[in-house]
Structure 1
Amino acid sequence: MAIPMLPTDIILVILKYIGVKDLMRLRQTCKDFLQITQLRTVWHELLQREVIERNIPIPRLGGRNLAALTVKELESCLADALRLRKNWISSSPVPAHSMTFQAVQEPQSQVVSLAFLPTRNRRCLISLSLRVADGHRIFTLQCWVLTSLPTCIARRTLSDFRGFRINTDPTFTAAVALRSSTGLEILAIDFSSSNPDSGFVTLQTLDNVDHSLQVFCGSMLLTKFGDARIGLRTVENPSFCMELQNPSHTEQNDFIDAIVTDKYAVIVRTATLDFYSLSSFRAGSAASVIEPITSHTWQWRIDSVSLAYQPSWETRARAEPPINILVRYASLFPWPVNALHHYVLPCDGTYDCRIDIDTHNKPYLAAPILIRTFASPIRLFARWDMVLGAYGTALWIDSHTEDYFDHAVEGQRLAGTLFTTVEDGAAVVPLDERGISATASMVYQVREDDGWVRIAIEEEEGEIAVGTSTAEITIFRYI
C-alpha cells in the first residue's frame, strides 16, 4: 500500500531546513521527490541561505542576474560556490589551475603594481612593470584579459610616469587615472581594440592637476600635494579642490590609504584615522578646507594598511557595513614590525542615512576595535605585500618559511585568513596587552627565494595573482 505524500507546499517548507547533501539524497528516493527538488524555488532559496546569506562569492556568474538563471544554472552556481569556499579556506588551498606569463620581455624588468580590475562581466588584471635602461626608468602599464591564455588588450609605455590609480567603482566608464608631469589623464579601456597600444583611450585630460594620485573612486579623485596635504576633486569640476585637513595633528602625518564615497571619506595616515563628512563638498561649498568630524590616533606609526568593507549580503537601511582594517606598524629598524593587526571600524547604531553626516550623525564610531594580531615575520630587506579582498580574505607575503625550508636565508610564504564579522563583546584593548593571538589560517603557496613582489586577489572567481622581480605574473585559480 502506497504511503500518501504530504502536500507540496508543506514539503517545500520542510526543505527550507535541510542542507544540500540531504536534498540530493532526498531526490534519489522517488519520482515525486525528484520532481519537487527540481523546482526553481527550492534551489533559489537554498542558494540564498547557503551562499548569499553567508557572504560566499559565486564564481563564474559573469554578472548574470540570479533571477534569470535556470534551475540547472542555480544548481551549478551553488555547487561552484561551495566547492570554491571549501578549497579557499582550507589550511593548504590547492589551485585547480595556474598559469605563468611574462608581462614584458625586456631584461632587468620587475612588476611594481598588480590589481584586478573591478568589472562585472570580464576578468581583467592591471599590471605595472618597471625596467631601467641607460639610467632611465621605463614603465609599462598593461591590461590583461584572463581567458585560458592571458591576452594584453591595452598597453602604455611611459618614460614620464608619476603614478596611476584604478577606478574602484565598476559602474563608471573611466577605468584608470594616469599622471605624468603634464597632468592627469582619465582613461577607459577599449576591449574591442585589436592593437594593445591603442587599448587605453583618453576620455579626459586634466592639464592643471599636478598632485600625486591616491584614490580614484567613481568621478572623485583623492590627491596629495605639498608634504602630506590631501585634496579631493571630481573629474567634472577638476579646478575645485577641497583639502581634507587635520589641524590638531601638527607632526608629519602622511597619507597611506582611504575609502571614499559620495557621503564621506575614511583617511588612514601614518599617525591617525580621520573621518570626514563630504556634505559641504557635495554642496559645492566655497570653503577650501574640511576638518574631520572624528579622529583616532594610532598607538604606533603605521607602515602599511589595507581597507575594505566587511562583506554584507543585506541592504542596510540605517548603517554602512563595518570596515576591516589590516595594519602593519613601522619600527625604528629598516623593516616593519613582524606582526599584522586586524582592526574593525564599527558602525554607530544611531546613524540615520536619510540626513547629512555630521558630528551628531555619523555612520562609524571614532575608534577602531583591535580584533586579533597575526605573526607575520619579515627578514631584513625581504620583499612583502598585503591586500584585503571584497569578501573578507586578508592575503599577505611574508618570510615565515621555517616550517617549509628550515632556517634558509631566503624564502617567502603566501598566506591569509578570512575576516568575518566583529566579535561579540569586542572592546578596545591596548595592543601591548593583547599580544599575538592568531596565525595564518591558509597558506596558499611558498617559494625558496624572495622573488614575489606584488599580489592581487579576486575572491569572486577564486583567483590570486602574484608578480615577481623578473616581471613574471602567475595566476592561481582555486576552482
Structure 2
Amino acid sequence: MAIPILPTDVILVIFKYISVGDLMKLRQTCKDFLAITKLRSVWDELLQTEVLQRNIPIPRLAGRDLAALDSSQLEACLIDALRLRRNWIAPSPVPLQSFTFKTVHEPQSQVVFVAFLPAKGHRYLISLVVTTSDGQRTYNLQCWDMQNFSTCIARRSFTVFRGFRVNTDPSHPGVLALRSSSGVEILAIDFLGTDPSSAFVRLQVLDDVPESLLVFSASTLLTKFDDTRLHIRTIENASFSVELRNPSDASQKECIDAIVRDKYAVIARTATLEFYSLTSFRAGTGARIIEPISIHTWQWRLDSVSLAYQPSWDAALHGLEPSLNIFARYASLFPWPVNALHHYVLPCAESYDARDAMTANNTPYRAEPVLIRTFASPIRLFARWDMTLGQYGTAIWIDSHTEDYFDHAVEGQRLAGTLFTTVEPGAEVVALNDQGVSATASMVYQVREDDGWIKIAMDEEEGRIAVGTSAAEITVFEYI
C-alpha cells in the first residue's frame, strides 16, 4: 500500500525549514521526493536564502546569469558555495590545490605587487617584479592566466617605472592605469593574444598628468602630488582636475588608500579619514578645490590601511550604500598599536536622503568610524608583512605570530585571516586603550619558517589566495 504524499506546494513550504543536507537525504527516500527536489524553484529559493542573503560568494559561476541557469546548475552553485565557505572560514583551511611558479629567472628579483583582476568570468592575476643588477632596477609588469597558471599572457618591462593601478570596475575597457615616462597610460589587455610582449594595449595617454596614481575607478583617476595633494579627474577630460583638500590640515598628511564612487570619495590619510562630495566635480562646475564634508582624526598615525565595502544583501535590496570596512595598523610603537590590527566600520547614516544634495548634514555615512575589534598581530623588527580586504568581508594578513608553530624562532610568518560580519545600525563607538586587543585570527591559512612572503592577494569569489615572495615566486592556494 502506497503512502499518500502531501501536495507539492505544502512540501515546498516544508523544504524552507530543513537544511540542505537533510534535503539531499530526503530526495533518496522515494521517487516523488526525488522529482520535487529537482524542481528549479527549490534550488532558486535555497540559493537566495542560504547563499545570496548571507553574502556568500558563488565560485565557478564564470559570469553566468543565475536567472538563466537550470535546476541542476543552481544546485551545483549552491553546493560549491557552501563547500567553499566551510573550508574558507575553518580554523585551518585546507587548500585543495596549490601551485608555485617563477615570475622571472634573474637573480636578486622579488615580487612587490600581486592582485587578482576584478572580473565576473575568467580570472587573471597581475604581478610586479623588481630585479636589481649592478645597482640598476628593472621592473616587470605581468598578467597570468589563472586557468593555466604557467602562462604569462602579458608582460612589459621598464627601467623607469612610476607606478600603476588596477581598475576597480571590471566593465571598463581600461584595465590598468600606468604611470610611465610618457605620462599616464590607460591600458587594455589582449587576453587572447599569442605574444605576451605586445598584449598590454595602449588605449590612451594622458601626457599632461605628472602625478602618481592612487585610484583608478571606471574612467576616474585619483592622483597624488608629493604624496599629499590629491587631484581627481576623468580620462575623458583629463585637463579638468579638482583638488581634494582638507583646510584644517596645513601639512596635508599622506594619503594611503581611498574609495571613489560616482557621488563621493572616502580618503584615508595617515592622520585623518575624510569624506568628499563629488557632485560639483561630476557636473564640471564650481571651484577647483573641494573640501571634505566630514573629517575623522585617527588616535595615532596610520602605517597602513585597507578600505572595502561590507557586503549587505539588505542594503543592495533597498538601493543603499553598504557599510565600509576599514582595516588598519597604526605606526606608533607605544603603547602597543604597531602589534595590532584594527577593524573599523564606517556605518551608513540612517538619516541620509539620496534625493537631496550631499552636505555635512546629509551624507551616506556617519562621520566617525566604529571600532569593532582589535586583533593581536605582532611584527618582528624589520619583518615583512601585508594585508588585504575582500569584497565579501574577508580580511587576510601576513604577520610574525608564529610562536604556536615554531616556538621562539627568529624568523617565520603566518598567513591569517578573519571574516567581518555586518554591523547593526546604531552601533556604539568603542574607545581604543592599552587593553584593547579583543580578538585573534579566526583562520590560519598557512605558516612558513622564514620571512619570504612579501605581498598577498585574494579572490574571495573563487576561493584563491596568491602570495608573492622575495625569490620572485608566486604561490596560489585554491580552497575549492
Contact preservation (8 Å) 1:109, 1:131: yes
State whether structure 2 residue 331 is matched by structure 1 residue 324.
no
2:354 aligned counterpart, secondary structure: coil
Task: Tell me the secondary structure at the aligned position of residue 337 of structure 1.
Answer: helix
- 2:452 alignment counterpart: 451
Determine if contact 1:317/1:353 at 8 Å carries over to the other structure. Answer: no
How far 1:332 moved relative to its partner? 4.9
The amino acid of 2:419's aligned partner reads L
Q: Which residue of 1 is the match for residue 46 of structure 2?
A: 46
The aligned counterpart of 2:394 is 393
Aligned to 1:253: 253
Range 26-35 or range 314-323, more displaced: 314-323
Q: Is the 2:99–2:477 Cα contact (8 Å) retained in structure 1?
A: yes
Per-residue CA deviation, residues 156-188 of structure 1 (Å, 9 max, x unaligned), is 101110000000000101000000233100000
Normalised to the residue count of structure 1, the TM-score between the two structures is 0.97
SS at structure 2 position matched to 1:415: strand
Structure 1 pair 423/379, CA: closer, same or farther in 2 (3 Å)?
farther
C-alpha RMSD of matched pairs (Å): 1.5
Distance in 2 between the 1:114 and 1:53 partners? 30
CA contact (8 A) 1:319 1:349 kept: no
Q: Which amino acid aligns with 1:51?
A: V
Is this contact kept in 2: 1:371–1:423, CA < 8 A?
Answer: no
1:201 aligns with: 201
1:462 match: 463
2:84 corresponds to which residue?
Answer: 84
CA distance in 2, matches of 1:77, 1:115: 25
Distance (whole Å) between structure 2 residues aligned to residue 138 and residue 355 of structure 1: 51
Letter in 2 for 1:141: L
1:23 maps to: 23
> 1:313: Cα distance to partner?
2.8
Do 1:410 and 1:448's aligned partners in 2 also have CA atoms closer than 8 Å?
yes
Q: Which residue of 2 aligns with 1:348?
A: 349
Structure 2 unaligned segments of length 5 or more: list them.
none
Paired amino acid for 2:143: C
Q: Does 1:262 align with 2:256?
A: no
Q: How far 1:250 sits from its partner (Å)?
A: 2.0
TM-score when normalising by structure 2: 0.97
- In structure 2, the residue matched to 1:109 is 109
CA offset digits 1:282-330 (Å, max 9, x no partner): 1101411000011000111100000100012342435300000000000
Distance 1:146 1:212, change over 3 A: same
**CA deviation map 1:187-222 (0-9, x unaligned):** 000011100001100000001110010000000000
Check the 8 A contact 2:348/2:425 in 1, yes or no: no
Instruction: Name segments (4+ residues, structure 1) moved above 4 Å.
Output: none
Alignment partners' CA distance in 2, 1:422 and 1:266: 19
**Shift of residue 48 of structure 1?**
1.0
Instruction: Tell me, yes or no, if the aligned pair for 1:306 and 1:325 is still in contact at 8 Å.
Output: yes
- Paired residue secondary structure (1:48): helix
2:475 matched to which residue of 1?
Answer: 474
Deviations 1:433-455 (A, max 9, x none): 66100000000000000000000
Identity of aligned residues (%): 69
> Which residues of 2 match residues 134-173 of structure 1 at below 5 A?
134-173=134-173
Instruction: Tell me by how many angstroms 1:12 deviates.
Output: 1.2
Q: Separation in 2 of the partners of 1:90 and 1:260? A: 33
Question: What residue number does 1:94 align with?
Answer: 94
Q: Which moved more, 1:259-268 or 1:71-80?
A: 71-80
Change (3 A) 1:263 1:235: same
In the other structure, the counterpart of 1:440 is 441
8 Å Cα contact 2:58-2:78 kept in structure 1: yes
Distance 2:361 2:230 in 1: 25
Structure 2 distance, partners of 1:373, 1:227, is 28
Structure 2 distance, partners of 1:316, 1:231, is: 33
- Structure 1 residues 43 and 332, CA, compared in 2 at 3 Å: closer, same or farther? closer
Within a 5 Å distance, the mapping from 1:169-318 to structure 2 comes to 169-226=169-226, 228-314=228-314, 315-317=316-318
Q: Distance in 2 between matches of 1:34 and 1:120?
A: 33
Distance 1:104 1:455, change over 3 A: same
Q: Is the CA contact (8 Å cut-off) linking 2:347 and 2:425 kept in structure 1? A: no
Contact 1:102 1:471 in 2 (8 A): yes
Q: How far apart, in 1, do the equivalents of 2:156 and 2:148 lie?
A: 23
Q: State whether residues 242 and 290 of structure 1, in contact with CA within 8 Å, keep that contact through their aligned partners in structure 2.
A: yes
Aligned partner letter, 1:78: L
Find the aligned partners of 1:246 and 1:213 in 2 and give their Cα distance: 19
User: Relative to 1, partners in 2 of residues 1:301 and 1:292: Cα closer, same or farther, differing over 3 Å?
Assistant: same
The answer to whether the Cα contact below 8 Å between 1:319 and 1:351 also exists between their aligned partners in 2 is no
Letter of the aligned partner of 2:363 in structure 1? K
CA distance in 1, matches of 2:311, 2:471: 35
Q: Is the 8 A contact 1:371 1:426 kept in 2?
A: no
Query: What 5-or-longer segments of structure 1 have no aligned partner?
Result: none
Are 2:411 and 1:410 aligned? yes
User: Comparing 141-150 with 204-213, which one deviates more in the overlay?
Assistant: 141-150
Other structure's SS at 2:236 match? coil
Paired residues in the alignment total 478
SS in 1 for 2:313: coil
Distance 2:235 2:134 in 1: 36
CA contact (8 A) 2:145 2:151 kept: yes
Separation in structure 2 between the aligned mates of residue 106 and residue 395 of structure 1, nearest angstrom:
30
